[in-house]
Amino acid sequence: MTLTTKRYIVAALSFLFLASLLVVAYHESKRHRAEERPGPVVTAANRGCVDCHRKDGPALVMEWEHSRHAQYGVGCVDCHAAEKGEMDAWSHEGTTVSALVTPKDCARCHAREYEQFSRSHHARAGEILASLDNVLAEKAAGMPGNIADAVNGCWQCHGAIVKFKRDAQGGILRAGKESKPVIDPDTWPNSGMGRLNPDGSKGSCHACHSRHAFEAKLSRSPENCGKCHMGPDHPQIEIYNESKHGIAFYANRDRMALDREKEWVLGRDYSAAPTCATCHISSYMTPQGIAVANSHDVGERISWTLRPVISTKLNLVIYEDGFKEDYPDTRALPKVGDQAQTVEKVVENEKLISKTVPRKVARVVTWEDRRKGMKGVCLNCHNDTYVDNFYKQYDDLVVLYNEKFARPAQQVMDDLTADGVLNPKAPFEHNVQWVFYELWHHEGRRARHGASMMGPDYTHWHGMYEVAKHFYTKFLPEVVEIAATKGPALRQKYEQKVRQLLAQDAHVWQKGLKPEEAEALRKMYRERYNQ
C-alpha cells in the first residue's frame, strides 16, 4: 500500500468516524428533548398526611403523586381542609378536615370552571329526585326501608343528597375517637354528577375528573361520559361507538393529544376525531384563527332538548346573578331587563325543595345561537353545506318523532286522564302507562339521540322502528283496553279516537299498501330470497 493510498484510507475512515459522531450528537439532542416529568412536591402541611396514608391507602397516595396537583405542591390539606363548625368537618390528627370535597372546594382555584359548571345541567342532575324515574326506583323497584335501587342505581349517576345521621334532637351524630360526623351510608359514597352537597353547592367535579390523579386524558375520553350516558334511555356512548366519530377516535387514540397539559384545542392540537368533550365542552379553532375557550356548561351548544315526551328547541335566559334557565320554544321569551320569578331547586334540611327567586334578565340566547356554537366545532372538519344539511336531517327526525307519535300519544294519555281512566297519582298502575313511558323515555329518546349523533342503527332499529312497532301493536290496543275497563261508552270513544288517528295520512299505510308498492315488495323478496 502506498503512502498516498494510506492517506486516502485515513481520510475515508475519519469521515466515517465523523458520521458516527454526528449520530452521537443526534442521540444526545433527542435525549435532551425528552424532559423528565417533574416529580411530586410534598409540602410541610401535607407531609403528615402523606407519610401516614402511604401505609394506610398507598395506592391513593401514589395516584396523587401522579397528578399535576402534586407537581405544584397542591396536596391533601389544600383540598380537604375544612372550617371548624362545617357539617362534614372533624379534627383528624391535628387538622380540621372533611372527606367530602365539593365543587365549592375546587372553586378555590378553579373558579372559572365552577362558575360554568354550577349553572349547567350537569350540576342539576340530582334534581330528578322528584321525577318519574325516581318513582320507579324508589317505589316500583324499591320498598319502604330499602331504596337500594335508587341508591346504587339512579343516584350513583345523578347524585344523591348527602345526608347525615341524626340524634334524637336532630343534631348530627358523631362517632369514634375523632368524633367524626356519621354520614348516611345511603348517600355516601356518591360521586354523582349532580350530588347535592351539605355546603349548598351542587355537583361533583370528580364525577368526570376522577380522583386522585385527576388525569386530563381520562376526562377527555368518551368512556368517561359513558359511565352515565348509556343504556336504554340515553345510549349516547353506544351511539358514539357506532358512529364514524367513535370509530375514528378508537382507531386514532394515540393521535388525540389526550395527555396534553393546559389547552386541548380541536383544529390545533388534534384533529383525528371528536370525543364527547370535544363537541360539548372543549376548545376548538374558528376560521378567524382564534381558539374558542372551553366551557364546563355542557348545555351551551345544545339546540334541541331530546328529553321530554315532545322535543322542543331550547332558548336560554341568563339572569344577572348568572342563573341560567332553558326556555322551550313554546314559551315566550322575556326581554333583557325584565323581572322574572324563577323557580330553583335547593336543598333545605336535607330535602330538595322548589324555591321561587325573583331575578332580572341579563341576556337571552336563542337556540340558533346555541346551535352556532356547536356548528363551530363541526366546521373544523366539515364544510357548511355538510353541517347545515346534517342539521336538517336531524331536525326532520325529531319533528317526525314529535308529530307522528309523540304528540298523538301524549294527547291520548291526557284524554285518558281527563276522562278519569288514568289516575294521575298512580303513574304506573296500568300497562298502558308503562308502554307510554317507554315509548317516549326509551325508544323515543334512542331514536332522537341516534339522529343527533349519527348512529343510524340506533335511530332506526333501536329507535323509530320500536317506536312505531310499540305504538301500533302495544300502545293503541292498550289504550282501548284500559278505556274498556271503565265501561263500554269509554271503550267506544277510544276506539273512535284510534280509528280517526289511523285514518290520517301518516298512519293510513296500516290499512294496506298501494297495489304498486305491494307488488314491488313481493317482487323484491322473490328475487332476493326466492321466497
Q: Kindly state the smallest distance separating residue 2's Cβ from other proteins, in Å.
A: 7
* Cα separation, 205 vs 117, whole angstroms: 9
Phi-psi region at 126: left, alpha or beta (left = phi > 0; alpha = psi -120 to 50): alpha
Q: Kindly state the smallest distance separating residue 213's Cβ from other proteins, in Å.
A: 17
Distances (CA, A) of 323 to 63, 329, 345: 36, 19, 12
Q: Kindly state the smallest distance separating residue 251's Cβ from other proteins, in Å.
A: 35
User: In 3-state terms, what secondary structure has residue 113?
Assistant: helix
Among residues 8 and 428, whose Cβ is nearest to other proteins?
A: 8
Rounded to a whole number of angstroms, the CA Rg of the chain reads 30
Q: Kindly state the smallest distance separating residue 264's Cβ from other proteins, in Å.
A: 16
Strands 291-292, 283-285: parallel, antiparallel or unpaired by DSSP? Answer: antiparallel
Element spanning 489, H or E: helix 488-503
Among residues 44 and 418, whose Cβ is nearest to other proteins?
A: 44
**DSSP category for residue 294:** P
Among residues 84 and 177, whose Cβ is nearest to other proteins?
A: 84
Q: Angle at Cα 37 formed by Cα 34 and Cα 40, nearest 5°?
A: 170
Among residues 41 and 468, whose Cβ is nearest to other proteins?
A: 41
Q: Kindly state the smallest distance separating residue 188's Cβ from other proteins, in Å.
A: 26
Among residues 41 and 182, whose Cβ is nearest to other proteins?
A: 41
What are the two backbone dihedrals, phi and then psi, of residue 38, each rounded to the nearest 5 degrees?
-60, 140
Cell of residue 468, nine digits:
312505531
* Residue bearing cell 332553558: 326
Q: Which residues pair with 348 in a beta bridge?
A: 351
What are the two backbone dihedrals, phi and then psi, of residue 441, each rounded to the nearest 5 degrees?
-85, -30
Q: What DSSP line would sit under 418-466, residue for residue?
A: HTTSS-TT-TTSSHHHHHHHHIIIIIHHHHHHHHHTT-HHHHIIIIIHH
* Cα separation, 466 vs 390, whole angstroms: 23
Among residues 32 and 499, whose Cβ is nearest to other proteins?
A: 32
Q: Kindly state the smallest distance separating residue 113's Cβ from other proteins, in Å.
A: 8
- Spatial neighbors of 313 by CB under 8 A, at least 6 apart, are 303, 304, 305, 328, 329, 367
Among residues 71 and 271, whose Cβ is nearest to other proteins?
A: 71
Q: Kindly state the smallest distance separating residue 112's Cβ from other proteins, in Å.
A: 6
Among residues 25 and 513, whose Cβ is nearest to other proteins?
A: 25
Element spanning 6, H or E: helix 3-33
Contact 218, 207 (CB under 8 A): no
User: Residues interacting with other proteins, by CB under 8 A?
Assistant: 1-18, 20-25, 27-28, 31-32, 36, 38-44, 71-74, 78, 108-112
Cell of residue 286, nine digits:
374558528
Q: Kindly state the smallest distance separating residue 389's Cβ from other proteins, in Å.
A: 38
Among residues 110 and 217, whose Cβ is nearest to other proteins?
A: 110
Query: What single letter denotes the amino acid at residue 450?
Result: G
**DSSP category for residue 56:** S
- Spatial neighbors of 259 by CB under 8 A, at least 6 apart, are 215, 216, 217
Q: Kindly state the smallest distance separating residue 114's Cβ from other proteins, in Å.
A: 10
Q: Kindly state the smallest distance separating residue 41's Cβ from other proteins, in Å.
A: 6
Among residues 36 and 254, whose Cβ is nearest to other proteins?
A: 36
Q: Kindly state the smallest distance separating residue 74's Cβ from other proteins, in Å.
A: 5
Contact 75, 64 (CB under 8 A): yes
Q: Kindly state the smallest distance separating residue 33's Cβ from other proteins, in Å.
A: 13
Contact 100, 88 (CB under 8 A): yes
Contact 437, 417 (CB under 8 A): no
Among residues 261 and 505, whose Cβ is nearest to other proteins?
A: 261
Among residues 11 and 353, whose Cβ is nearest to other proteins?
A: 11
Among residues 1 and 332, whose Cβ is nearest to other proteins?
A: 1
- Count other C-beta atoms under 10 Å from residue 43's C-beta: 14
Q: Kindly state the smallest distance separating residue 116's Cβ from other proteins, in Å.
A: 12
Closest CA to 300 of 524, 485, 120, 169: 120
